[in-house]
Structure 1
Amino acid sequence: MTLLERDPDDMIQVLDEDGTVVGDVPDLDDEEFVEMYRYMKLARHFDERAVSLQRQGRMGTYPPLSGQEGAQVGSALALAEDDWIVPSYREHGAALVRGLPLEGTLLYWMGHEEGNNTPEGTNIFPVAVPIASQIPHATGAAWAKKLRGNDDDVVLCYFGDGATSEGDFHEGLNFAGVFDTPNVFFCNNNQWAISVPRERQTKSETLAQKADAYGFTGVQVDGMDPLAVYKTTQAALEKARDPDEGQLRPTMIEAVQYRFGAHTTADDPTVYRDEEEVERWKAKDPIPRLEAYLRAEGIMDDERHAEIEESVKTQVADAIDAAESVPRPEPREMFDNVYAETTANLEEQYEEFAEIREKHGDDAFLED
């Protein structure tokens, strides 16, 4: 039985919560293991600094990712150079692995349209804030690759558990099954769609089993085990490129995990989550889990750990300096960048905005 030939409720795992090996370790060399760990540490420190920037008024609303580093980094590292990712709004770690500079992510959440300009060759779609709207786009992009004969290039789409309740999810996956597109649909099941818990999304036993309705494979993986995520994504990518006889190319991966912080910095999770639940999930933290494995294998020691800690802090500090050195965007850009050409309706809205701003200043737009 291959990794993907299992019941959707049979969760794939390589490391247990203590970092002990309980499955087949992926074939990576020591430096690749360290690279995975470093990306996770970098994503976590960046996340902590980004939340701090928002609290200080130096950045707009921001969606934290802490707790989800294993799923993001593990999946992104499995991709080939020409593959594409289609993110939602929380995939800062995956975008980092694919080559998006940290200052680009900062600029986006600081309100700069420049943050949407990804460097050539990174193969990243723009951030999608509306829930599940990116899923049909990912299916369409993969279908286009197949029609052009480029179906060795896979399109991996990230979305949350809440997205599985949206029509775009069903339409995108149904189309992918019918047209056998080279897709991997990666569900970051972090247990909460803002304040709505997983059990209010569906009566299905797992989210992964929803793929059955569309005729292709769905699997559930421990999303806080980066090695399991890497192996599962790698297997799904291989199937998308070259499916076995009788199989369809797409796969849906449900990565079971938890977001430690708020849905966004505008959210207060203490209203709907209790601290006991949060602490229970923090015991599964993907970073110390991978570190324990690396130390047990002699791949990580105190000296290398200290080097990573220092380099991560320096890289994030430099990214913040670079982002904050860019002049603040003009409010007019909010209206100019919605469509290729500004509509009459948007122009009317801008004129109203400009009139209020001229009369009352920017304080008129601040919340109490």
Structure 2
Amino acid sequence: MSARRPLPRWADILLLPAINLAMAFLISGLVVLMIGENPLYAVQVILYGAFGYGDGVGYTLYYATNFIFTGLAFAIAAHAGLFNIGGNGQAYVAGLGAILVALALDQTHWLITMPLAMIAAGVFGGIWGLIPGYLQAKRGSHVVITTIMFNFIAAALMVYMLNRVLKAPNTMAPESETLDIGGRVPQLREFIPFFGYSPVNLTIVVAIAFLVGAYILIWRTKLGYQLRTLGHNPVASRYAGMSNSKLIMIAMTLSGACAGMVAINEVLGVQNRLVLDFVADAGFVGIAVALIGRNHPIGIGLAAVLFGALYQGGQELQFVIPAVTREMIEVIQALIILFTGAMEGLFRPALERGFVLMSVEQKAEATARATVDSES
């Protein structure tokens, strides 16, 4: 049996995901080739659609903003050993907090409305994450099951709220009143005309700040150390005097609060009102983003941009090459998730053996060099 060693951190975070992505795109190219289209031209169209002009870049960043928040939501829970599948529901319920504050303050300035709406969205999303955390910590209910079920509860709750409580007068659509200018988050095109008519807004700045904050929280604070200890070995954390149940509830609350920021991007930044299904399954995409990014903020940021490019570039691809349908775009996304998630360890053994060989060769070269130096 050949020798293996753990991969260096940079290889685990960057090299292995890059190899997995390359394999996913290779298989995707074969799928495009099977329908008689040029895969290289398809890649060119996707890249142009995502990064070739201002509106495309704006849409890519708009999608990436949501995926950053939901990716961080999954990653924070994952570092504590929890598998949070409830990002959709947590972001959905957070929309209630965001719209209630925005409607109450939409006659003021957005500099007042936005931070208060963020707090409200974080509280609502955090509570929706805390409940499954409490059920696991205190009642033994597995967080995977409860977060899935809470997605359905959130969907039913929002249907009721938008039809019975928050529905705007003089409209048949299940939606809240439209926000005045004071309740809206400014879009970047107001400051940078390059972004054209794309919906990217100042929430992207909040997303970047959350990436930095998540890194500091997880790797530079006592709480982050405790969460990682819980995730690596719950028995050890308990013997070290940590309260596992408390840490589980904290992790799920922080996770839900991160997912809740999707409501700021969508409700205040794009829709300017609360509508049904504004999350658009960003919570599930966030799981793939976190897996590709190895639950590290830098990786999550890059993976979010990747999926944002796939969403925007995929729409461009459907327009330019009609034979490539939306279902095929979803196949490409599924292949990326397959290779970076379910099969992320496919190339790990070969890489580990390769690093062992490199290490042995380096040691042999150093020994030979030292021998030559001593003889001379």
The TM tier, using the shorter chain, reads under 0.3
When normalised by structure 2's length, the TM-score is 0.26
Structure holding more helix per residue: 2
Identify the structure with the greater strand proportion. 1
**Larger Cα Rg: Structure 1 or Structure 2?**
2
